[in-house]
Amino acid sequence: MKYGFILVCMALLFALAPSTLPAADTEELKVEADQFYVEQNYKKAYKIYYKLAKQGDHYSQGQLANMFAKGEGKEVDFEEAYAWSVLAAEGGDEAQQKQSDEWLAKTDDDARAEKRAKKLMKKYGQEALEEKARKREARLRSHEMGGCTGSKLGCSGG
């Protein structure tokens, strides 16, 4: 009986934990996305860049920003370009920081662009991703220390 609850806890833990890719897989996906981009298959390139951007990959965030600014696969949207470029600039790229300022100047509504950037930062910024990782690690530690209660609710903690 106890073994079944442990399996439920483990299943819940893995189901709730966001997927992160090993660095080698990330690099392979970036190469694949870049190839789609060069081939002007923007829909496929966007899909991969978006997946990586949500995991904090600054290069992919910058690529999304460029695609929005140029209207590649999406409508030209300087607010969205600005928002993604703010995330990309978080990686310390000074050129990206300058580009963010230029795209902000091209928006129709600076306040709306800033609000969108804050929303993305709250979800996918470095600090937000680190907090998610800490919570995921706490759930793993809780499970290892017997955090499963045996109730129908599964594991506690995190």
80 pLDDT band, cuts 50/70/90, is very high
SS (H, E, C) 126-154: HHHHHHHHHHHHHHHHHHHCCCECCCCCC
Percentage of residues in the chain having pLDDT higher than 70: 77
Among 3-12, 14-23, 92-101, 103-112, the range of highest mean pLDDT:
103-112
Each residue of 11-21: pLDDT tens digit? 433 433 444 56
Within 10 angstroms of residue 81's Cβ, the number of other Cβ atoms is 27
State the Cα–Cα distance between residues 158 and 62, nearest whole angstrom: 32
Quick one: DSSP state of residue 74?
S
- Is 32 a residue whose pLDDT tops 90? yes
State residue 15's pLDDT score.
39
Residue 125's nearest CA partner among 54, 19, 28 is 54
- Is 155 a residue whose pLDDT tops 90? no
State the Cα–Cα distance between residues 33 and 158, nearest whole angstrom: 34
Instruction: Look over the chain and give the mean of its residue pLDDT values, rounded to a whole number.
Output: 83
Each residue of 46-75: pLDDT tens digit? 999 999 999 999 999 999 999 999 999 999
Which amino acid, one-letter code, is at 109? D
105 pLDDT band, cuts 50/70/90, is very high
State residue 132's pLDDT score.
86
Q: Which domains does the chain have, with CATH numbers?
A: 23-140 (1.25.40.10)
**116-130 burial string, b = 16+ CB within 10 Å, else e?**
bbeebbeebbeeebe
State residue 139's pLDDT score.
85
